[in-house]
Amino acid sequence: MLGYPVKLTRDTNGTLLVDVPDIPEAHTFGEDRAEVLARAVDAIETALVGYIEDRQAIPQPSANRTKESVILPALSEAKLALYRIMRDEQIGKAELARRLNCHLPQVDRLLDLMHASRLDQLEAAFRVLGKRLGMRISEAA
């Protein structure tokens, strides 16, 4: 599970603000704890979309966990792992499209955190990179 620590603070108007120390671009607010943590997922994913578009490294969650953290959806975690592997192995989107025998927009969607890609498509991408996608089920916090 990919979880980023967050910092919650009360604003002067009574709303809660959330900051993500590992991703300085991710900020949001909400009326209560549940709302602000739900919105934090979107704020993190939106910031990470920018990282991918700018071809920047994706920050790892800091080891120093606060009592509050936000867990990203499994699909987003898989897409971020694919991006990291491509970046580490210097494999561009065009090369991945060639290996998958597909068009470039299909690879763009595989890396788009806002697109609901199918798991089998991600598995195929990992396979052509010599990797295997696995799952782990754990108790909910």
CATH number at 48 reads 3.30.160.250
Same domain, 67 and 48: yes
* pLDDT mean values, one per 10 residues, the chain (141 residues): 92 93 95 93 97 96 78 96 97 97 97 96 97 89 67
The last residue of a domain, from among 71, 96, 119? 71
The last residue of a domain, from among 56, 71, 86? 71
Domain that holds residue 111: 74-128
Q: Which residues pair with 4 in a beta bridge?
A: 70
Q: What pLDDT score does 1 carry?
A: 85
In a domain, 138, yes or no: no
In a domain, 20, yes or no: yes
Same domain, 23 and 39: yes
3-state secondary structure of 93: helix
Q: What pLDDT score does 67 carry?
A: 74
Same domain, 64 and 79: no
The last residue of a domain, from among 43, 71, 99? 71
Nearest-angstrom CA–CA distance, 125 and 132: 9
Count of domains in the chain? 2
Tokens 């025998």 label which residue?
A: 101
What are the tens digits of pLDDT across the range 69-107?
899 999 999 999 999 999 999 999 999 999 999 999 999
- What are the C-alpha distances in Å from 82 to residues 44, 75, 86? 17, 11, 6
Q: What pLDDT score does 133 carry?
A: 94
In a domain, 98, yes or no: yes
- What are the C-alpha distances in Å from 67 to residues 12, 70, 80, 114? 23, 10, 24, 27
Nearest-angstrom CA–CA distance, 13 and 28: 14
Q: What pLDDT score does 64 carry?
A: 63
By the 10 Å C-beta count (0-12 exposed, 13-18 middle, 19+ buried), 71 is classed as: middle
Q: What is the pTM of this model?
A: 0.92
In a domain, 97, yes or no: yes
